[in-house]
Chains A and B, each alone.
Chain A
Amino acid sequence: MIRYLLAPLLLALATALSALALPAQATAAWDLGQLMQALAGNGGGRVRFTETRHLALLDAPLVATGELVYVAPARLERHTETPVRETMVLDGDTLSLDREGRSHTLKLRDYPEAAALIESIRATLAGDRKTLERTYALSLSGSATQWALDLLPSDPAVAKVVLRIRVTGNRGMVRGVEIQQADGDRSVMRIEPPAR
């Protein structure tokens, strides 16, 4: 059970973070190659986020806010401030969750599907299009000032959990990550521009 559920949340975390501190590109044309190049130059940074979860079970969406931190090459942090303080850190192969004074640590290799996803995310961070395309079909739409990258899982294990991931942005900035889950639930993360 746990292994299927872990995947999208890691993905949400990592995809959002992958967009941090992208170098702004002045080029007029905007294609997948350029996006990947921009991603490859990713250094790291800190942004605020607002995540809204739409669950079929609930009458109203759940909202969480906080900060995301990316430290190249392999450390991703999600510090939730509301509704409860908690910290989730992915460092290399270790995922740890601190919540209400309790700490849980998972090893990604114990969750093979999640590990496959994480490898894709690492590929996104590295601008490694080849590895990314092993798990997803990529399609980029829109313009350089308002683009959307759709990730459609081609790996059946990932597809069991995730229908589609849409990353949107403005030039080198990621502004949103939307995950459509296989069970119909949906989460939307809005990312504020990094304070410089």
Chain B
Amino acid sequence: MRKPNGLSRRGVLAGAAGLVATGALAACGSNTGRGSSGGGSGPTIAQWYHQYGEAGVEQAVKRYAKAYSKANVQVQWTAGDYDTKLATALVGSGGPDVFEQSVAKVDQVRAHQLADLTDVFGAAKDDFTPAVLDAQTVDGKIYGIPQAIDMQMLFYRKSWLAKAGVSAPTTLAELASAAKKLTNKKVKGLFLGNDGGAGVLGAVPLWSIGQGYLSEDQRKVGFEAEAAAPVFAALRTMYSSGSLLLGAPADWSDPSAFTQGLTAMQWSGLWAVPVVQKALGNDFGVVAWPKGDDSGKPSVPIGAYASTVNAKSRHVDAAKAFAKWLWIDKTGYQRDFDLSYGFHIPARTSIAAKADKLSSGAGKDAVDLVQRYGKVQATPGWTSPMNTAYTDALNNIIRKGSNPESELKTAIGKIDKQLRTLYK
């Protein structure tokens, strides 16, 4: 029977069912980046990027994807915790076909998540910076095409240091002393992140005393608790001295604490140079992390995002062909990606050599630091659980004041257990 308003019960039910079905379908669809508005013909492949801070990069990578004619490439730009989202997506079948990550991890290779890209390099292999290529190499096979090199360094305000009678620090003791002298009621001396450097410094304190995460062959723990304890104790002393900026609205990767005058020195990265230059002109300098003792060296961590292919992709060959086209054949795109928006060192030495931005000022200083002291922080053998064990120890030592030696021994035990699982 038709109701006075013209709606029958059957009609209402059908409509409701339709709505529910539509909602369910919408809710069930996992967004892998595959859509219908691609540029080319052929298979549709999803390419994932993490969110770059520089304006224009997103548009640029979408432009590159659209220019590819042999596949319909859909770019997904991921804000927030990209690494966790990627790790979860790679477990299932809804992951991306091509994605970027900074290191090819041994456990990913063991889980057959990464496609072997060794054969796509050809003669271009020798043009890539060896250190960042090593970060993509497991058992002699290459799993990622490096796109850009980034590095971290210490920014300092030249005029403020001069006024306080402090020179750019070259040792950890000098850094602690300078931070204290530069601290006053309104300004803190040093910003190493809101956790006092526990998260970002990573292997840097170990390098500064001549040690590292893992041994050369990646199969043993590369540091000793007794020898490493003093440098972490020094970081704790600095943390509790009141000269570190803690709890800034933006963390270490954003130079705003430095440009807003909240701190006189800040640990940040090459990408921050344009923003700092715009805010402070030439009133800033950059140095490496100072050495911890006479057995160590100044430290500059470098890393490189690389383009990787999901081994579980339905279009592995198409994805490999696209990655090769974008990051090996089209050298102009790498130049544009690295130098037109922010400040990155091209992974290919031939492109880096011609980069004007890197031939003067802070850019040149940064390149010099990379050449003299640059080391890749994340290596294939250093897995996430190992990193968690290590950063837990740093958090407990630096922020909680726990005993450095016992914390490092606990971390070494956990890392050693992981290594035994990996290489059993």
A binds B: no
